[in-house]
Amino acid sequence: MKTKLVVVLSLAVFTLFLAPIAQSQDKAAAPAKYDYAVVKWDGPDRLYFNLPDKFELVYLTRTGVQIPKDAQAEEWCLAYAANKMAKDGWEAIDLNSRRILFRRTK
């Protein structure tokens, strides 16, 4: 009788302590789902926003944004786009001289 009680109690304790650990490992093992977007600089003030649900061509000077006279247009426009995307929850994960790849969790 005592051995059955010890076994049952051991199983109960084992279950109580390992169940949360197993659940956290399941959550960690599940792959994260992301949306991806690309911003491309294509001219003095022209940016292409390729978002998951839409495509947008933006002329910065037409939207009231002025590129500083001494700034290099390509770098300044890409930095402007990166800051704009970050405000919407996008994270830059890769870039080259004319494009930035972004992602955010769904």
**Selection from 77, 78, 73 nearest residue 95 by Cα:** 78
Per-residue pLDDT of the chain (106 residues), as tens digits, is 767 555 555 555 556 566 666 565 655 667 789 999 999 999 999 999 999 999 999 999 999 999 999 999 999 999 999 999 999 999 999 999 899 999 999 8
CA–CA separation, 89 and 103 (whole Å): 9
Sequence-distant (6+) residues with CB within 8 A of 67 are 44, 45, 60, 61, 73, 76, 77
What percentage of the chain reaches a pLDDT higher than 70? Answer: 73
pLDDT in tens, 66-96: 999 999 999 999 999 999 999 999 999 999 9
Question: How buried is 35 (Cβ within 10 angstroms: 0-12 exposed, 13-18 middle, 19+ buried)?
Answer: middle
